[in-house]
Structure 1
Amino acid sequence: MTSWDLAIAALAAIGAGAVNALAGGGTLISFPVLVALGVPPVAANVTNAVALCPGYFGATIAQLRNLRGQRGQLLLLVPVAVLGGLVGGMILLRTGERTFTALVPWMILAASLLLAVQEPVKKFVVKRLSNPDHKHHTMALSAVPIAAAAIYGGFFSAGMSVLLLAVLGLVLDDTLTRLNALKQVLAFSVNVAAAIFFLFSDKVIWLAAAMMAVGALLGGALGGKLAGRLPPAVLRWVVVVAGVSIAIIYWVKSA
């Protein structure tokens, strides 16, 4: 990658970090930019996952106060998330470049749709938790769907947080605030597990990952300052429309 390419990747990471802080879906910005710069899709996905780890860490630290009393859930579900992230990363590295390239538009579309239903998912979780007639579920029942969401996240992280929150809302009985904090820890666990696995591959573009990590942190700080000034719903739909458009462009180019 040239100096200009690295600068563009860093700018994309700033945008991704800001979007993640405001509305979510930042991967739908940074991943396509890397591909547009000529990075092979698998390497772009791997580099993006490694670069965004600091952002997941920061978001997890911010949620620590809402994790009190959730030791049992963490002890069960964090190992599940880690294993799922490893499996997803393993599947990614065993997927041929040609196959993954064919999957890219479908994954971008899926991630865009997940982002589009983010608010309805939250409303569904709140409604379900407020229903006095809902049945209690044991934590063990959450392991399988969490594992499935984690495998997806290890393979392609965009939209993983929405999936995790939806699953947690279905199988656990707790407040939305506490479930959201648990979701953040699980997303961090999935991303870090996959990223550590990726470290031992030859797919990480290290200079780009380092610059993007700094950019993502700056973008996250910027997004935090802009919170309350920009309507998250508007930004979210801008990202959704952009994601769907990118998926269509990929299909047209491959036709």
Structure 2
Amino acid sequence: MHVTTWEMLAVFAAGLGAGTINTIVGSGTLITFPVLLATGLPPVTATVSNALGLIPGSISGAIGYRAELTGQRRRVLLLGAAAMVGGLGGATLLLLLPPTAFETVVPVLVALALVLVVLQPRLARRVQARRARKGTEARPQGGPLLFIGLLLASVYGGYFTAAQGIVYLALMGTLLDDTLQRLNAVKNILAAIVNTVAAAFFLFVAEFDWTAVALIAVGSTIGGQIGARTGRRLPPTALRALVVAVGVVAIVQLVVRRYG
């Protein structure tokens, strides 16, 4: 990357913002990706460099949420397997499909996820009432439906990553009986797995811009800690509102880039 000092600062700041927002909600790629394109990187190079650069941020955010991960080891291992397989599939698709392949369906996907996030408390109450009538208990790992849903979401995450955190939260919030903060902690682990698997695959088959990777990595690592300190203090209603707000911005940006 042959860039000016100001462009380097912009990439670092984008990494900082992405690391912060990824840890709290997700969709940090919508900050970094346009900045990388503005510096002159080709779309695929920007995508793979962004995926590798955001790994330290995801790990940093997961460490910041370590208290909320207590007692979720089995859940993380099971859902992490779905994220790993899906992330590898998405990375493969990035090299086989045109860069615009997902641009039409993604805004619809994110919109559906936001509907689930908004309706999650009501859906959870109805599911709990139904279980009480039938005398059944919630599956702590979500069952096959959650596994398959996260697998497909991770395919998309390995391809582009933008707003995958929102989809994760929507699926887990609907199908798991747990607090939003604890699910957010799992979301950070899943995002780290997808980015790591995808980046490891890209190392052998794609071209990285190592200046961009380094700047985003440093920025996102700092942002991960900021996001964890901020996000863990948010009450469920505020966190859900932030998810919706970020999701709406993501939809607008994706639609503008596709049709603008």
- TM-score, with length taken from structure 1: 0.78
Kept in 2: contact 1:25–1:236 (CA 8 A): no
Kept in 2: contact 1:28–1:239 (CA 8 A): no
Q: Distance in 2 between matches of 1:44 and 1:153?
A: 15
Of residues 198, 201, 211, the one that matches 2:202 is: 198
* Pairwise CA RMSD: 3.4
Kept in 1: contact 2:54–2:217 (CA 8 A): yes
Q: CA shift at 1:117, angstroms? A: 4.6
Q: Which runs of 5+ in 2 are unaligned?
A: none
Q: Distance in 2 between matches of 1:252 and 1:180?
A: 32
SS in 2 for 1:133: helix
Q: Distance in 2 between matches of 1:143 and 1:233?
A: 22
Which amino acid letter does the alignment assign opposite residue 156 of structure 2?
Answer: Y
Q: Distance in 2 between matches of 1:39 and 1:191?
A: 19
- TM-score, with length taken from structure 2: 0.76
Going from structure 1 to structure 2, the CA distance change for 1:92 and 1:222 (only over 3 Å counts) comes to same
Which amino acid letter does the alignment assign opposite residue 73 of structure 1?
Answer: R
1:40-51 mapped onto 2 (5 Å cutoff):
40-51=42-53
1:75-154 mapped onto 2 (5 Å cutoff):
75-95=77-97, 99-101=98-100, 103-104=102-103, 107=106, 109-110=107-108, 113=111, 116-117=114-115, 119-120=117-118, 122-124=120-122, 126-127=124-125, 130-131=128-129, 133=131, 136-137=138-139, 139=141, 140-141=143-144, 142-154=146-158
Kept in 2: contact 1:111–1:158 (CA 8 A): no
Kept in 1: contact 2:57–2:222 (CA 8 A): no
Q: Distance in 1 between matches of 2:123 and 2:147?
A: 18
Of residues 228, 238, 246, the one that matches 2:253 is: 246
Q: Which runs of 5+ in 1 are unaligned?
A: none
Q: Distance in 2 between matches of 1:15 and 1:118?
A: 25
Q: Which moved more, 1:145-154 or 1:220-229?
A: 220-229
Q: Distance in 2 between matches of 1:100 and 1:237?
A: 26
Going from structure 1 to structure 2, the CA distance change for 1:39 and 1:232 (only over 3 Å counts) comes to farther
Figure out how many residues of one structure are paired with residues of the other and give that number.
248
